[in-house]
Amino acid sequence: MQGQMQAQPLLISTLLTHAERHHGSQEVVSRRVEGDIHRTTYAELASRSRQLAKALAALGVQTGTRVGTIAWNGYRHLELYYAVSGSGAVLHTLNPRLHADQVVWIADHAQDHVLCFDKTFLPLVEAVASRLATVKHFVLMADREHMPTQTAIPNLLCYEDLVSSQNDAYTWPQFDESSASSLCYTSGTTGHPKGVLYSHRSTVLHTFASALPDALNLSARDVVLPVVPMFHVNAWGLPYSACMVGAKLVLPGPGLDGASLYELFEAEGVTVSAGVPTVWQGLLGHVQSKGLRFSTMTRTIIGGSACPPAMLDTFEDTYGVQVIHAWGMTELSPIGTVGILKGHQQALPKADQRAIQSKQGRGVYGIDMKIVDAEGAELPWDGKVSGELMVRGHWVVNQYLKGDTSPLVDGWFPTGDVATIDADGFMQITDRAKDVIKSGGEWIGSIDLENIAMAHPAVAMAACIAAKHAKWDERPLLVVMKKPGAEVSKEELLAFYDGKIAKWWTPDDVVFVDSMPLGATGKMLKHRLRDLYQDHLQAQPACAPGTPVSA
Amino acid sequence: MQGQMQAQPLLISTLLTHAERHHGSQEVVSRRVEGDIHRTTYAELASRSRQLAKALAALGVQTGTRVGTIAWNGYRHLELYYAVSGSGAVLHTLNPRLHADQVVWIADHAQDHVLCFDKTFLPLVEAVASRLATVKHFVLMADREHMPTQTAIPNLLCYEDLVSSQNDAYTWPQFDESSASSLCYTSGTTGHPKGVLYSHRSTVLHTFASALPDALNLSARDVVLPVVPMFHVNAWGLPYSACMVGAKLVLPGPGLDGASLYELFEAEGVTVSAGVPTVWQGLLGHVQSKGLRFSTMTRTIIGGSACPPAMLDTFEDTYGVQVIHAWGMTELSPIGTVGILKGHQQALPKADQRAIQSKQGRGVYGIDMKIVDAEGAELPWDGKVSGELMVRGHWVVNQYLKGDTSPLVDGWFPTGDVATIDADGFMQITDRAKDVIKSGGEWIGSIDLENIAMAHPAVAMAACIAAKHAKWDERPLLVVMKKPGAEVSKEELLAFYDGKIAKWWTPDDVVFVDSMPLGATGKMLKHRLRDLYQDHLQAQPACAPGTPVSA
């Protein structure tokens, strides 16, 4: 017996149509590559997206055609989000921080037919254009005035010319909601990148879940500034959720330094932002050094990697900005868990609340999760036992693009994270499966050790890696980048662990570095550190401070 | 090209599974028919729902089988919500306030196989049992101790015996998300009731949309008390949305008087409630007469019929409770619009904000709406022009149960409401299409006239109906029920309109009544008043106060 309600597909175009009809005068503000601030509205954005959809069709873009972008967060990129997916083609956002060879490999693997890019990335595209075998059209996201007079790219098209070549008389097509809408490649640390192919259905359901009060809590009263790039897992879905709820969008373009961000936060009345910890470090550094305050920002979503507790304290105690810790993956569209307190936790002492907020959060409706032992048996939710985190749900990957073997285990996606889950459902990542330090047969979680180091006033960034050890197989080695002008000795840092963890977890040694290797999405590349320092302890004296004592 | 994300059906059972796993210890508190307060948790509710699903299967309930309920808001009713729909059968909630003949007609039309009911309704069911041709099993929602010693119902089953006859080893089945989940009949004022058959998909999508910050704004920190009955459009979806977000649920059972509700609000720390204006009148009456305050309630959702502005002012100004005005219909699952201010409206003077809040609200994502003229042409969103409101969307009816002609017009459902929509998308119902008063070829909206009368301190309830008029075809006639002990004259009431509306809109006369005819869902039955008073003005002197002057 079938229900008798209206059957309509869940399509990305309906998010834009809703914003246009119900929030047509709401603003979308962008800091452009050109340097100025650009203002538009959802009504205008919708109209231009329809023009763009027609222009792309004229370039041969059809249902399923991949359209690549290499672009900052800005209104033109947003128009591409809707014009490409809305018309039934597939938006492929490329990460400009990747090596040129990787860009070529990914664009070729995706078989991009068109490549649209910001002027910032003209040198990159010029360098690779001749190697992009499938790309038939290159589009510079600029107006005629900003087109280069000379370029190595043949027949370089002007974005604004394309838009203005069409009127906006276009009706978004209706099609199967399981159709592919967009494509992101994971920045795998080993092997080739893997493509995750989202559908309209997975995207709209993710949008619903991500906007809920216990997730990103988005409304028409919000002014949202996604620092997280639109080339990185669809900026955590904010280009979609902002349209669903009619929030004002502020897109920072290339201005991701603390001063540029702060200026935009204040000028546009930003209420909520989202990004990785490294970005917030830059912002907080600017705000602290100038003695500034946030006058409208009420909360910030921190994900991508764990938020150091010290950063959480600074945001909340010094600046009154609520930190919403979230966890996700490219394979999860990306949102899996969000760290909002439950009702009964609101009465807890602040320190206990902070401890909960430091976890990665609880599962949003639509995501199932479990932790399993090495044999795949489910482990209890007691907040103590850790195991590999497995997830499944409407917006979890089923298969990678052109994948041959399923990444799933009994229908669950193995995240590669090692985590605990407590009785309230709060998940805490204790390590990446590959970053766990196995000392004398016992696991030591590197993240705890890093967080403690990060709480030291002289430490800017810290990584804890497994170094080879003759007796214990592996022992923790702390790699530290100091804050500019700050001083701290190895002995002081190791003593800083006293009383905070089991004695045998204390790192065996400290290596000071001038810079940390960061990946394309701002995450620390710990495998690079391992390559450099995994033999470090082999050359050490046998009884350095912190040598493990048997349990 | 298909996306490559996991394919899972949107099933109602997943809401309960989520609540069980992620909010297992969250409370569900019920005032029982037995008189006491009952406490359980989502974990226990889920376990008992599985037991119940097995027990129903043993009674022959299969995929698509209709299971009727006549019950208050309580945990057993909630278990039926999930056990019936979750197992693939169809939950049919009957309205106990209907006439016995209507109950028989509806249960027969729905072909209910099982009928579960609270002890309150034993006399009703005893009176109709022999006429319920399709019902094979009658289940009293009580434990053995509360079963009647004698009853006219053959083989009356005991709910708690059924539950305890099974263990909870049961896996919710997976099936097509478009399958029927539940059935509500519209309490049509004319003709036979019409059945709206919801699907799992329509219900889950409605649940997502209704929980968003700009809709009911539900979180795990909320304590939700649905006054709106679970036999009336699924209590506006709160039994589903509370599970989705892990909110504490407080179910008031038969105690819908002001004193009982207030006691529960305070004892259980209710943060948000939902119901029709008539219920709030009772609650406010109690609170005002006893000089009480609400210590935890922050907001209340008012729908079903328009919230009188005076009630809005009292809630917000006197009690600090935010009023969220919502509009919906059985055919819309029910939520269509919700009246939450937009960002730029937050800076408006309070009076302007109240005027916006008095409107029925703006469309939630997932609902398209438009207003049309008599020829079906779309009218502008200027807040002035009114036309018939048409809607479409994932949770809008496509066809009534066993319907032969489509209720849709070009794919849109005509609501029968006459409304304006302003530039911000706020919809305001000016009348039911059938309640509009056509005076000398011009429309007069009855709701405006009723709201003004309701603002008079002596008026408890007011209705404005079209009375036949020799010269103007129809003229407004005000029907008023005074507050207990209050006095007001016809002349004073008519003078109360001076300056508030166009002179020619002023009602021609006032009829005072001792009680108002209310329908099964607490709405005024204006057609009854029309039957009684439509000829009232024919017997009046020619020049009563308020006689229209030509424009």
> Is B486 part of any domain?
yes
CATH number at residue A512: 3.30.300.30
Q: Which residue has the tokens 């041709």?
A: B133
pLDDT at A505 over 90: no
Tell me how far apart the alpha carbons of residues A185 and A143 are, in angstroms, rounded to a whole number. Answer: 29
% pLDDT > 90, chain A: 80
pLDDT for the residue A375: 87
Q: Determine the residue type at A202.
A: S
Among B192, B208, B224, give the residue marking a domain's end.
B208
Q: Please list every residue in chain A whose beta carbon sits closer than 8 Å to the beta carbon of residue B196.
A: 4
Q: From the candidates A365, A395, A426, which should be mutated to test the interface with B, based on the most B CB atoms within 10 A?
A: A365
Candidate list A40, A443, A490, A547, residue with the active-site label: A443
Among this protein's residues, is A186 annotated catalytic? yes
Where does a domain end: A189, A208, A227? A208
Kindly state the helix (H) or strand (E) to which residue A119 belongs, with its residue range. Answer: none
What beta strand segments (E) does B207-330 contain?
Answer: 223-226, 248-251, 272-275, 299-302, 322-328
Among B208, B225, B259, the domain-final residue is B208
Count of A-B CB contacts under 8 Å:
216
Q: Which residue from A214, A394, A399 is facing B4, i.e. has the nearest CB?
A: A399
Q: What is the pLDDT of residue A299?
A: 96
The CA-to-CA distance between both ends of chain A, in Å, stands at 63
Residue B524 has pLDDT above 90, yes or no: no
Q: Give whichever of A473-477, B169-173, B533-537 has the largest mean pLDDT.
A: B169-173
Q: What is the mean pLDDT of residues B158-170?
A: 98
How sure is the predictor about A545, in pLDDT bands with cuts at 50, 70 and 90? very low
Strand partners, B37: B31
Tell me, yes or no, if A248 comes closer than 8 A to chain B by beta carbon: yes
Chain B residue numbers with beta carbons less than 8 Å from the beta carbon of A25 are 423-424
Return d(Cα B303, Cα A221) in angstroms, integer.
Answer: 23
DSSP-assigned states of every residue in A271-305: -EEEE-HHHHHHHHHHHHHHT---SS--EEEE-SS
**Any B CB within 8 A of A218 CB:** yes
Structural domain count of chain A: 2
pLDDT value of position B433: 76
Angstrom distance (rounded) from CA B31 to CA B253: 5
- B331 catalytic, yes or no? yes
The Cα–Cα gap between B43 and B29 comes to: 13
Contact between B407 and B397 under an 8 Å Cβ cutoff? The reply is yes
**Torsion angle of C-alpha atoms B293, B296, B301, B302, degrees rounded to 10:** -10
Residue B511 forms beta bridges with which residues? B479
Q: Which residues contact A415 (CB under 8 A, 6 or more apart)?
A: A329, A331, A388, A389, A390, A391
- Cα separation, A413 vs B6, in Å, equals 10
The pLDDT value recorded for residue A550 is: 37
Residue keyed to tokens 């990957």: A397
The pLDDT assigned to B540 comes to 53
Tell me, yes or no, if B444 comes closer than 8 A to chain A by beta carbon. Answer: no
End-to-end CA distance of chain B: 63
Tell me, what amino acid is at B185? Y
Task: Examine residue A379 and state whether it is found in any structural domain, yes or no.
Answer: no
SS3 breakdown of chain A: % helix, strand, coil, rounded to 5?
30, 25, 40
Read off the pLDDT band of A551 (50, 70, 90).
very low
CB contacts under 8 A, B 508-527 vs A, are none
Task: Pick the closest to residue A330 from A223, A267, A236 (CA basis).
Answer: A236
| Least confident piece of the model among A336-350, A488-502, B50-64 | A488-502
Percent of chain B with pLDDT over 70: 96
* Model confidence at B409: pLDDT above 60: yes
Instruction: Identify whether B118 is part of a domain.
Output: yes
- Tell me whether B339 touches chain A (CB under 8 Å): no
The reply to whether A320 falls in a domain is no
pLDDT tens-digit profile of B190-239? 568 899 999 999 999 999 999 999 999 999 999 999 999 999 999 999 99
Strands A37-41 vs A27-31: parallel, antiparallel or unpaired: antiparallel
| Whole-number Cα distances in Å, B374 to A290, B371, B378, B474 | 63, 10, 10, 19
Kindly report the backbone phi and psi dihedral angles of residue B109, in degrees, each rounded to the nearest multiple of 5, phi listed first.
-65, -40
Report how far residue A163's alpha carbon sits from residue A143's, in angstroms, rounded to the nearest whole number.
10
Residue B261: what are its φ and ψ, rounded to 5°?
-65, -45
Q: Which of A118, A61, A111, A102 is CA-nearest to residue A84?
A: A61
Q: What is the CA radius of gyration of chain A?
A: 24
With a cut of 50, say whether residue B143 has pLDDT above it: yes
Task: Report the pLDDT value the prediction gives residue A548, as an integer from 0 to 100.
Answer: 41
- 3-class SS of residue A374: coil
Structural domain including B74 reads 40-208
Rg (C-alpha) for chain B, rounded Å, is 24
Q: Which two tokens stand for residue A460?
A: 């800017």
The model's pTM:
0.88
Plot region of A473 (φ>0 → left; ψ -120 to 50 → alpha; else → beta): left
Contact with chain A for residue B401, Cβ under 8 A: yes
Q: Are B391 and B368 in contact (CB under 8 A)?
A: yes
With CA atoms as reference, the chain B residue closest to A271 would be B343
Cβ count within 10 A of residue B548: 20
CB atoms < 10 A from the CB of A347, how many? 9
Q: Are A398 and B4 an interchain contact pair (Cβ–Cβ within 8 Å)?
A: yes
Q: Which residues of A501-537 are buried (b: 16+ CB within 10 A; e: fewer)?
A: eeebbbbbbbbeeeebbebbbbbbbbbbbbeebbebb
| ipTM topping 0.90 | no
- On average, the pLDDT of chain B sits at 93
pLDDT confidence of residue A520: 66
CA–CA separation, B508 vs B546, rounded Å? 5
Q: Is B472 a catalytic residue?
A: no
* DSSP notation for B507-525: -SEEEEES---B-TTS-B-
Q: Are strands A473-482 and A509-512 parallel, antiparallel or unpaired?
A: parallel
Give the span between the Cα atoms of A229 and A235, in whole angstroms.
Answer: 5
Residues B301, B67: Cα–Cα separation, whole Å: 29
Q: What CATH number does the domain containing A109 carry? A: 3.40.50.12780
Asked if residue B477 lies in contact with residue B511, where contact means CB atoms within 8 angstroms, the answer is yes
Q: Three-state SS for A526?
A: helix
Over range B472-479, report the average pLDDT: 91
CA dihedral over B54, B57, B63, B67, signed as positive or negative: negative
**Tokens in use for B182?**
């539940």
Residue A117: strand pairing partners = A70, A140
**B6 vs A14, A246, A398: nearest CB:** A398
What is the arrangement of strands in the sheet containing B157-158, beginning at the earlier edge strand? B157-158, B137-140, B112-117, B66-70, B90-93, B180-186, B194-199
Domain annotation covers residue A380: no
Residue B185 pLDDT greater than 70, yes or no: yes
**In 10 A of CB A171, how many CB atoms?**
8
pLDDT tens for each residue of A295-352: 999 999 999 877 888 899 999 999 999 999 999 999 999 999 999 999 999 999 999 9
Q: From the CB of residue B299, how many other CB atoms can be counted at a distance below 10 Å?
A: 19
Q: What was the pLDDT predicted at A393?
A: 98
Q: What percent of chain B has pLDDT over 90?
A: 80
Least Cα distance to A440 among A341, A534, A547 occurs for A547
Q: Is B381 a catalytic residue?
A: no
- Which ranges of A376-525 would DSSP assign to H, the alpha helix? 446-454, 490-495
For residue A539, the model assigns a pLDDT of 65
pLDDT band for position A188 (50/70/90)? Answer: low
Residue B470 lies in a domain: yes
- Catalytic one among A402, A438, A500, A503? A438
Over residues A271-276, the mean pLDDT reads: 95
Domain presence at residue B24:
no
Residue B125 included in any domain: yes
